[in-house]
Amino acid sequence: MKRTAIVLTTCLLVALALVACSNENNAKEEARETIVEEVAKPFEFVLKDEKTAYPYGERPDIEATLHYIGEEPSTIEFGESWVTFETRNVTEDVTYDTPVTLPLQTATLQPGDTLERTYEFFGEGEGIDEDGHFLPGTYEVTAHISFGVVPEATPDAEAVKRAEAAAPSEQPSEPAPIPFTRTLKTTFTVYDE
């Protein structure tokens, strides 16, 4: 009888220790941030997720950053933003569409300039409650970075003379922007408190 009581007490203490360690690991997991970086000269891209786990009801804190590391100013063209976010519920295998707008915008970046964009989610469907909160599960956020680098046009004197002499319909067209695309991903988990 004593032996059974000792074995049961030992099992109970081991179980309590495992639960305590599990809670400690969950807290550590929640506090850890994820940073994904890619350098493609003259640009540096960073996707930063403040935590890898969020309690139900808390919005993920994810930010994309574009840092210009070139030596001369550069002009880029893009739609609504130079980055769009796509969200996928890995648990339910559902991808939420990202709205894309077409108005063209430009930005001239000086050496050292940084553009930032915070992740915002406006989806609905499986894995999302009526208030727009992520239900417990695993989610993947993909940052689609896409813009065009406008080439610097430096026509020579002869080309300028020919263009001035040509009829307006024969004017040389602007050089097309050079497409620049990258994709970065991060994953987070939503858990019940």
Q: What is the pLDDT of residue 44?
A: 95
CATH number of the domain at 82, please.
2.60.40
Q: What is the pLDDT of residue 5?
A: 46
Residue 8 lies in a domain: no
The model's confidence at residue 27, banded by pLDDT at 50, 70 and 90, is very low
DSSP sequence for 120-141: -----STTB-TTSPBPSEEEEE
The model's confidence at residue 145, banded by pLDDT at 50, 70 and 90, is very high
Residue 17 lies in a domain: no
Q: What is the dihedral of CA 165, 169, 171, 173, to 10 degrees?
A: 180
Q: What is the DSSP-derived secondary structure letter of residue 16?
A: H
Mean per-residue pLDDT over the chain, rounded = 79
Q: What is the DSSP-derived secondary structure letter of residue 66?
A: E
Q: What are phi and psi of 24, to 5 degrees?
A: -65, -40
Q: What is the pLDDT of residue 15?
A: 42
- Per-residue pLDDT, averaged over 55-60, amounts to 94
**Domain tally, the chain:** 1
Q: What is the pLDDT of residue 33?
A: 79
Residue 100 lies in a domain: yes
Residue 149 lies in a domain: yes
pTM of the complete model: 0.72
In terms of pLDDT, which residue wins out, 29 or 45? 45
Closest C-alpha to 193, from 32, 58, 49, 88 = 58
Residue 78 lies in a domain: yes
What pLDDT digit, counting tens, does each position of 104-136 carry? 899 999 999 999 999 988 777 777 888 889 999
Residue 15 lies in a domain: no
The model's confidence at residue 37, banded by pLDDT at 50, 70 and 90, is confident
Residue 69 lies in a domain: yes
Q: Determine contact, residues 184/36, Cβ cutoff 8 Å.
A: yes
- Which residue range forms the structural domain that includes residue 147? 30-191
Residue 73 lies in a domain: yes
